[in-house]
Amino acid sequence: MRRVLSALLALGLSAALHAAPAAVDPAQALLEQARLWQSLGRPLEAQQALDKLRRIHAATPQDRAEALTLQALVQVQQRQDRDVQKTLAQLRKQYPGYAGIARVEQLRRVMGPDRNKLLTARSLFNSGKYEQAYAAFNELYQGPPPSGALELEYWQLVSRLPNGGWARSQAELRKLIRQSPSNHKNRLTLAGVQLQRPPVSPQLLAELKALSQFPDSRNEALSLWRRALQQADLPTDAYQTYLQAVPDDELIRARLDSLQEGRRKQRELLADPAYRALLAADKQLDANQLAAAEKSLQLAAGRYGNQPQYLKNLGRLREKQGRYADAVASYRKAGQSGDDGWKRRVADAQLAETLAQARTAMDARQWQAARALLDKAGKLQPAGVDVLLADAEWQARQNRAEQARQLYRRALDRKPDSGQALAGLLRGYLDAGRYADADRMLQDLPQKQRRALGASYLSARAEVARELGDRLLAQGQTRQALPHLQRAVELQPRNVWNRFALANAWLAAGDAGKGGAMLRQLADEPAASPESLYAYALFQAKLDNDGAVLATLQRVPPAARSEGMAALQRRIWLRETIRLADAESALGRAAQARRRLQGAERQMRGDPARLSELAQAWLRAGDADHARQLLLSQYLEQPSTDNELAYADLLLGLDDAAAAEPLLEAAGKTRQDMSDEQKQQLAGLQATLAALQADRARLAGDDAGAQAILARAAQAAPQDTRLQRRLADYDMDAGRWDAARARLLQVLNAKPDDDEAQLQLVDLYIKTGDRQLAEQGVNQLLQDKPGRSLDFRLRAMNRLGEIGDTDRLDREIAGLLARGVNSPGLMGQAARRARQTHRPEQALAWYRAGFAPASQAPAETGGLPPGRQPLRPVPAESAQQEGLHEGYAELLDARSVKIWQGVDLSYRSADNGTPGQSQLMMWQAPLLVESPAPRDGRYFLRADAVSIKAGSLDNSPDNAYALQRFASIAACAAGADVQSCAGRYGAQTAQGVALGLGYENEQWRVDVGSTPQSFPVSNVIGGVRYSDSVAMLNYKLEASRRPVTSSLLSYAGVRDPYTGQTWGGVVATGVGGSLGYDKGGRFGVWSNFAYQQLSGENVADNRKLTAMGGVYWRLLKAPTRQLTVGVNSINFWYQKNLGEFTFGQGGYYSPQRYNSLSLPLSYAGRNERWSWLARLSASISSARESASPFYPTRPDLQAQAGDPYTSASSGPGWGTSLSGAFEYQLTPRLALGGMLEYQHSQYYQPGRALFYLRFQPDGASLTLPFPVEPLQPYSSF
C-alpha cells in the first residue's frame, strides 16, 4: 500500500510539474519537491529529487546551496552522521555564510545531543503543561523551529497558549501554506488547530472534504472531518456529505438519525406556547427580568408544572424574589421529579435566606442580630465564600476596615475568580483614598488569577482609574483627571458609565463636543442598549439640548425604560415647556404663558418634583401667590414627605425662612422613615435654611456666627449649590482664591447651567486680575437663554464695566432700551453710564425714570433741567429701586454745594517742647466751600485762618545752653552776653490766612494756593494727583509742593534780629504715590512712597525718601459696625539732620534713618444720625540722627560761634496714640463733626482737637459717611 501511495503522490507531483507554465524554473520545482519529501519524512524520494537537480546545468549557485542544505537535512533524518559531516564541509567551503548551514546544525543538534530535551518538551506538551512546554521548545531551538514535522508540532503547541496563541498559530501556518501550497500536511495541521475552538465553520468542513481527496492526506482528513461532526450539532447536509464519502460509518449515521429525531421533537415542542414560555423563563431569570419570568412560568405551569425544569426555574424565581421558603419547596419537589441537584439548591436557598436576613439586620443597624445570623450561615456552609463576603460587609459597615480587608482577602484566596471579593477588597482601599495601594494590589495578582477573574479584573482596574479621576474632577483638577478617566474607558470600552464620567470631564474642560461624540459612538449603534441611550440623553440634558434628550429617549423601547429614564423624559419635557412659557412671558404674551403652565400642571399632577419646578416658573411669571398655592394645595391634598419638602423648598426660594423652618423641623422628626433621596433633599433644604440664617447673621455683623452656621451645614449637604456658593463668597472675602475657584468649579461641574455660580466665578476672575477669563464668562452669561431674567442680565452687564469693556456695556444698554425694556435696574445702569461719561443731567433723568411708571421712561436727550426735587418714597420690597435710590442720592450729593467751617488746634506743651523754639500751639480755622464742576467733579475753595504761637525764650542764666541752640544767639554770644543776645527775640508768633483753589473728581485732584502772606516766609503751594486702579490694585501718583508744619519755624519762618534776615518756611517738593489692595473684603494692603526736596528761606536744602506700608484685617464688617486691626511699617530717610532751630536749620524732625512698626486697632460705627470712629495704636521705633552744624548756610556764623555741632544720636523708642472722630446730623442741612487725637512717646506728646460744621443748602442726600472722614486743613493736604 505504501508503494502505491508513493507512486500516486509522485505521479501527482510530476503532473503538477509538467502542467506548470513554461515560466516555472525546473530547478525551483525540484527544490520544492525535495522540501516536500523532506518535510514528510520521506528521505528516499527527497534524495531522488536532489539527484535530478544536480543534473540540471542551469541551476544557480543559490539553488545548489539550497540543494546541499536539503541533502544534509535528509542525511540527518537518516542518521548518516559521516555523510552529514561531508555535506556540511562541502557547503561551508563552497557557500560560506549560507543560512542553510545553521538550519542543518540546528536539526543535527536537536536530533542528536539535545534529543532528550526534545523528548522532555514533548512530554510537557502531551501532559497539558503548555506554557512550560513552550519555554522548553524555545530553549531547545534557540530561534525559529526546524522546518517540517518539528515546525508543525511547534505551532500546534503555540495554538494552546493563552493571550493570542491560537490566532498566532493560524497566522504562521497560513504563511507555511502560502510558501508550499502542495504540502497537505500544513493544511491538515491548520484544520486541526481550528477545530480546537467552536464553532465549526462551513469553510473548515469544505477544506477537510478537499483534503480527503488526496491520497497522502485522505485518512487524516477523514479523521478530522469525523471529529468535527461529533463535537457539535451541525446542519443535516454536513453529515450527509460525509456519509457520501464514507458510507459505512455507522456512528455518524446514527448521530445523523438522532439529530433528525431530536430536531423533529424540538419543532413540535417549539410549536407549543407553554414550552416556549418555559424556555423564555430561563433566559428572563438570567437577565433578572422577574416580572416577565413570573408571567412565562404561569403560562408554562399547565403542561409542564411537574417537570424538573419548571420547578427549578420556579425555585430560582422565588429565591430572587426573596421568598426562600417557597424556593426550597420548589427545589424539593423538583428532586422528587428527578432533579439530581435539588439538595444543593435547597442548601443554597437556605443560606441565601440567612444571609439576606443578616443584610436586613445590617441595614437596620442591628449589628448583634446580624452577627447571630452570620454565625448561623457559617454553620450552614462553613467554608462558604458567600458567608465570608457577608461577614466582610458586616465589618466594613462598622468601619472596621482592616478586619473587612482580611475577610475579603480570605474569600478571594478561597475563590480566586470571585469578582465580588475583589470588588469588596478594592472598595476598602478606595473608600480610604488609597488609590496607589488599590492599584498595587491589582498589579500583584498573578496572571493566572487575572485570567480567572476575567471581566471582573478589568472592571476593578477601571474602577480605580475612574474613582481617582472622579476625585480629581471634584477637586477642580480637570486636566489631571482626564488621563485616569480615559484609562477607565480604555479598560472597559463598552462601559457606558465610564464614558459618561469621561464625557463630564471633557465638559468641565470646555470640550463638550468631544464628550458628546464619545457617548454618541455607543448611542448611534443600530442596537444601542437602553443604558447607552440613557447616558447620552443625560449628557445632552446637561447641555440644555432638550430636543436631543427627548429624541434619544424616544429610541428606548417602552418596556425597557427605567424609572430614571421616564423621570428624565418628564423633566426635560417640562423644562422645555417652562422655557417656552418663560419666552412667551418675556415677549409680553402673559396669557399664552399662563395657559401653557396650566396645561403642564395637569400633566404633572402627583409629581412633587415637577410641580416644584412649575411653582418656580409661576414665580418668574410674576405670580408668587399662585406658586405658593400650587404647592400648598399639593401638600394638603397629599401630605407626603415629597410634597412637604417641595413646599418648604418654595418657601426658602421666597426667602420665607420663618415659614419653612417649622416644616423642616417636622420633616426631620420622620427622617428615619425617608428614602435616601428624601434624606438628601432634606439635608439640602436644611442647608439652604442655614444659608439664609447665615445671611441674617452676616447682615447683623456676626460674620463668625455666619461662617459657623455654613460650616455645619456643609457637612450635612456637601452638594448643595446655594450653600457652596455662599462658602465661596466667604473664601473670596478672605482672599482664598484657589479654594473659592475649586468650590465654584465643583458646582458648575455638577450643574453646568448654574448662572449664579458662573457669575460668581467671573467676579473671582475680576478680583484676581484674569481679565480674559472674566470676559469669556460674561460673554457666555450675556447670550440669550430662555428663563434668564432681566435682573440677572443686568448683573452680568455690570461686570462689563468692571473689566473695562464700556463700549460693549453701552451697546447692551442701548439694545435693551431700544426694545422698550424699562425697569429700575436698567434705569440705574443707564444712569451710572451717563454719569461715568460726564452727562449728569441725563443721569438724573434716568434715575427719575426708574421711579416713574414704565410708560414715563425719558428719551435720550442732551440735558434736562437739573431741579432739586425731593426723593420719592421707595417701596421696601423693591431691591432694585433701593439701589436706584442710592445712586440717585449719590449723584445729588455730588452736585450739591457744601460749606465746611472748623476750628483745629494742634499743640505741644512746654513739657514737650522748648519755649520759643519747638513748643507749638497752632490754631487753624479751615473753611472749605465745594460746588459742582464738569466731568462729575467738584471745585473747592480753601481759606484757613492760622495762628501759631511757640512761646517766648527763657532768658534765665541757667538756660544758656538752650538759648544758644536758637537763631544766631551762639554766634552773637561770642562777643556779648548770652542773655543780652537772647533779649532781642520777643514772643514767637505768626498769623495769617492760607488760601487754596482746586478741582477734584474720582481720578484727578489739582490745587494751587499759598501759605499765609503775612507769615515771615510765604510760599506758593499746590499739587496734582491721579488715582486709578489696575487689576486688583489701587494706585495714586502725585507731584506736589506742600508746607512742612512741624513747627512755627518750618511753617511760618522766623526773623533773626542779629543778622537782620529771615529763615524757615520750609516746603517739600517732590513726587510720590501709593499702591494698595482693598476690594471691601476681609483684608487690605496699603503702601506709600515719595521722594522730596526740602527747601526754605536761608535753610539748607535737604532730601527725603519715604517708604511705608501695612496690612489690615476687618475682624468685624457689618453695615453699621466695623472692627479693623493692622500692622504698619513706616520708614524714611533724610539726607541731613536739620531738626534744630538755629539759623539755617529747618526746625523739622529729620533723622538719617527712621523705622517704626505699629499695631493699630480701630472701631467704627453708625446709626441713623451718628457716625463715629475710635483708633488705638502702639508702636516701636528705631532712629539715627547725624551731627549737624549749627549754621549750615552761614559758614561765617559757624566759625564765629566756634564751629559748634549738634550731637549725633541713635536708639530705640516706643509710642502709643489714641484718637476718635464723630459726625452728628443736627438737621437735614447741618452736621457737626469733631476729632480728638493724642500721642505719647518718651520725648514727644503732641495733641490735636478739631470741631467743624458742614452745611448743605439743599439738604443732605446721603447718610453720614462711614467711617467718619473729618475735615482736614489745607496745610495737611
The predicted-structure confidence for 670-681, as pLDDT tens digits, reads as follows 777 787 777 767
Closest CA to 192 of 163, 231, 162: 231
pLDDT of residue 539 exceeding 80: yes
Confidence label for 33 from pLDDT (cuts 50, 70 and 90):
low
Confidence label for 872 from pLDDT (cuts 50, 70 and 90):
very low
- Mean pLDDT in the chain? 82
Question: Across 1135-1229, where does the E strand assignment appear?
Answer: 1141-1142, 1153-1166, 1170-1185, 1188-1189, 1205-1206, 1209-1225
Q: Average pLDDT of 939-960?
A: 92
Compute the distance between CA of residue 1273 and CA of residue 1051 in angstroms, rounded to an integer: 14
Q: Give the pLDDT of residue 9.
A: 41
In a 3-state reduction of DSSP, which class is residue 942?
A: strand
pLDDT higher for 587 or 165?
165
pLDDT of residue 871 exceeding 50: no
Q: Give the pLDDT of residue 851.
A: 63
Q: Average pLDDT of 79-97?
A: 80
pLDDT of residue 6 exceeding 50: no
Q: Give the pLDDT of residue 35.
A: 64
- Give the least confident one: 206-215, 907-916, 1092-1101: 907-916
- Rounded to whole angstroms, the maximal C-alpha distance in the chain is 161
CA 886 centroid distance within chain: 38
Confidence label for 870 from pLDDT (cuts 50, 70 and 90):
very low
Compute the distance between CA of residue 282 and CA of residue 633 in angstroms, rounded to an integer: 48
pLDDT of residue 293 exceeding 80: yes
Q: Which residues contact 406 (CB under 8 A, 6 or more apart)?
A: none
Q: Average pLDDT of 1005-1017?
A: 97
pLDDT of residue 414 exceeding 80: yes
Residue 1155, strand partner residues: 1131, 1182
pLDDT higher for 93 or 1276?
1276
Report the run of H or E that residue 72 belongs to, with start and end.
Answer: helix 61-77
pLDDT in tens, 773-819: 988 888 888 876 644 666 788 888 888 888 888 888 888 888 877 76
Q: Which residues contact 500 (CB under 8 A, 6 or more apart)?
A: 519, 535, 538, 539
φ, ψ of residue 335 to 5 degrees: the values are: -65, -35
Compute the distance between CA of residue 801 and CA of residue 775 in angstroms, rounded to an integer: 11
pLDDT higher for 817 or 139?
139
pLDDT of residue 1134 exceeding 80: yes
pLDDT in tens, 371-402: 888 888 888 877 778 888 888 888 888 888 88
% of residues, the chain, pLDDT over 70: 87
Compute the distance between CA of residue 450 and CA of residue 966 in angstroms, rounded to an integer: 100
DSSP state of 200: P
Q: Average pLDDT of 691-699?
A: 73
Quick check: 330 and 320 in contact, CB under 8 A? no
Q: Give the pLDDT of residue 216.
A: 82
% of residues, the chain, pLDDT over 90: 23
CA dist 1090 → 1022, 1031, 1131, 1132 (Å):
16, 23, 11, 9
pLDDT of residue 4 exceeding 50: no
pLDDT of residue 10 exceeding 50: no
Q: Average pLDDT of 485-504?
A: 90
713 burial type by CB count under 10 A (0-12 exposed, 13-18 middle, 19+ buried): buried
pLDDT of residue 155 exceeding 50: yes
Whole-model pTM? 0.47
Q: Give the pLDDT of residue 610.
A: 81
Confidence label for 583 from pLDDT (cuts 50, 70 and 90):
low
- Give the least confident one: 19-23, 30-34, 355-359, 1118-1122: 19-23
CA 650 centroid distance within chain: 30
User: First CA to last CA across the chain, in angstroms?
Assistant: 129
Q: Choose from 255-269, 378-392, 582-596, 739-753 the range with maximum mean pLDDT.
A: 739-753
pLDDT in tens, 730-747: 677 767 788 789 888 888
- Is residue 1267 reached through a cis peptide bond, with omega within 30 degrees of 0 on the bond before it? yes
Q: Give the pLDDT of residue 883.
A: 54
Q: Give the pLDDT of residue 337.
A: 66
DSSP state of 838: T
Residue 942, strand partner residues: 928, 996
Length of the chain: 1277
In a 3-state reduction of DSSP, which class is residue 21?
A: coil
Q: Give the pLDDT of residue 1216.
A: 94
DSSP state of 1275: G
pLDDT higher for 863 or 984?
984
pLDDT in tens, 200-219: 888 988 888 888 888 888 88
Give the position of cell 509522485.
10
pLDDT in tens, 599-621: 888 888 777 778 778 887 887 77
Q: Give the pLDDT of residue 749.
A: 86
Confidence label for 910 from pLDDT (cuts 50, 70 and 90):
low
Residue 227's CB is within 10 A of a number of other CB atoms, namely: 14
pLDDT higher for 1056 or 112?
1056
CA dist 489 → 466, 472, 474, 497, 1029 (Å):
9, 16, 19, 9, 49
pLDDT of residue 187 exceeding 70: yes
Q: Give the pLDDT of residue 1031.
A: 66
Q: What is the DSSP string of 910-924?
A: GGGS-TTTT-EEEEE
CA 830 centroid distance within chain: 36
pLDDT higher for 692 or 316?
316
Q: Average pLDDT of 300-304?
A: 79
Q: Give the pLDDT of residue 1171.
A: 92
Q: Which residues contact 106 (CB under 8 A, 6 or more apart)?
A: 141, 142, 143, 146
pLDDT higher for 842 or 1100?
1100
CA 74 centroid distance within chain: 74
Quick check: 1033 and 1062 in contact, CB under 8 A? no
Q: Give the pLDDT of residue 52.
A: 66
